[in-house]
Amino acid sequence: MKGIFIFLLLFGAGGCGSMAFGQTTNNSFHAEMLLREDSMKTYAVDMINAHEATERFQADSMFTRMLVRALKVNHSFSYPFDSLQTVSRLYAPDSSFRIFTWQLVQDEASFRRHGAIQMKTADGSLLLFPLIDKTQQVDNIQGAVTGNTNWIGAIYYKIIQTSYQQKKFYTLLGYDEHSFRSTKKRIEVLTFDNGKPVFGGPYFSFEQDTVPKPVQYRFEIEYKKDGNASIKYDEELGMIIYDHLISENNQPGKAYTYVPDGDYEGFKWVNGKWLHIEKVFTFKLEDGQAPVERPVRGGKLDLPAGRERKRN
C-alpha cells in the first residue's frame, strides 16, 4: 500500500509539473502570437485603405508573408487573430478547418481577393491551402468546379455545414465587390476530395420552379453598388434567404440597376442539394418580418455580413 501511495504521489507531482510546464508553454505561445498579430495590423488596414495603389500592394505582400509565418507556429489553428478587422476569419462549424479571406483594392474598378484554408491537424503542424483568385479566367462561374489554385474569389462571411449520405458539405456565403457599379454575393459549396478543397458542384436545383432551370454549380446575385441586397442563412427556417431583385429603371440587361423589391427567394437543403424556393414567405411567414442583413460600412469588416467599402 505504501508503494502504491508513493507511486501515486510521484505521478501526481509529475502531473503537476506537466501542468505547470503546459501553462508556461501556453502563455509563451499566446505572447508570441499576440506579438505577431500586432505587427500585422497596420498592413491589414493599409492593404485596404492606403491612398496609393503601390502602398496597398506592398501592404498586401507584407501581410501575406507575416500571416503565413504566424500560421507556421505550432498549434496556430487555435489562435483567433481577432484584431485583424479587415480580414474575414471563419471556423467551420465542426472546427475541422478555418478560412481567411481578404480584399486588395487595385483601383476603383478592380478588386482582387486573397485567402487561405488552414486545416486542423492532430499534432498542431501547419496544413495550409492558399486560395489563388482566378475569377477573371473562369468563363462559366455558375457551371465550374474549381480548386484552391483557380478559386472564384470572395470574402466569406458564413459557413453552413450540412451532410448527405455520411458526407460533409460546407456551404459558403461570400461577398465580391466586383466593380465600381455593382456588387455580387455568392453561394457555393466546399467539399474535400482526398483532403484537398473542391469548390462548386451540381448542388443548386431549380427543378421545382414554375419554369424549371438547369442545375447550377454555384449561385450569385449582382446588384447596384450599395444596394444592400442580402444573402443570409436563417437558422430557424433552416434556409438560405436572399433578396429578389428587379431593375429600378426597367433595364434588365444591366445588373448594376438591380435593387431589392421587398420579396425573398431561398434555398432549402434537401437530399444533398440546395432546392430553390421561389417564394420564401409562402413557404413560411412569421410576424410579417423580412430577414435583414447587417450592413457593413467603413474601413473594417463587420462579421458575419462581409465588407462593403464606403464610397464618396
What pLDDT, in 10s, does the model give residues 201-255? 999 999 999 999 999 999 999 999 988 999 999 999 999 999 999 999 999 899 9
Residue 282, pLDDT score: 66
Q: What is the pLDDT of residues 24-43, one digit of tens each?
A: 458 899 999 999 999 999 99
pLDDT > 90 in the chain, percent: 74
User: Which 3 state secondary structure label does DSSP give 56?
Assistant: helix
How high does pLDDT run on average in the chain? 85
- Candidate from 13-17, 39-43, 70-74, 241-245 with smallest mean pLDDT: 13-17
Q: Which residues of 17-29 are buried (b: 16+ CB within 10 A; e: fewer)?
A: eeeeeeeeeeeeb
Cell of 187: 453561394
Enumerate the β-bridge partners of residue 219.
187
**pLDDT of 266-288, one tens digit each?**
999 999 999 999 999 864 444 55
Q: Is the per-residue pLDDT at 132 higher than 90? A: yes
Cα angle 110, 112, 117 (rounded to 5 degrees) comes to 165
The phi and psi torsions of 34 (rounded to 5 degrees) equal -65, -40
pLDDT digits (tens, 9 = 90+) for 133-147: 999 899 899 999 999
Q: How much is the average pLDDT of 255-270?
A: 96
The count of C-alpha atoms lying within 13 angstroms of the C-alpha of 304, restricted to the half-sphere facing its C-beta, is: 13
pLDDT the model gives residue 247: 95
- Nearest residue to 101 via CA among 190, 224, 195: 190
- Separation CA 91–CA 241 (nearest Å): 22
- 233 - beta bridge partners? 240
**DSSP calls for 4-39:** HHHHHHHHHHHHHHHHHHHHHHHHHHHHHHHHHHHH
Instruction: Indicate the pLDDT class of residue 179, thresholds 50, 70 and 90.
Output: confident
109: nearest Cα among 50, 181, 176: 181
With a CB cutoff of 8 Å and minimum separation 6, the contacts of 245 are 221, 223, 229, 258, 259, 260, 261
3 versus 239: the higher-pLDDT residue is: 239
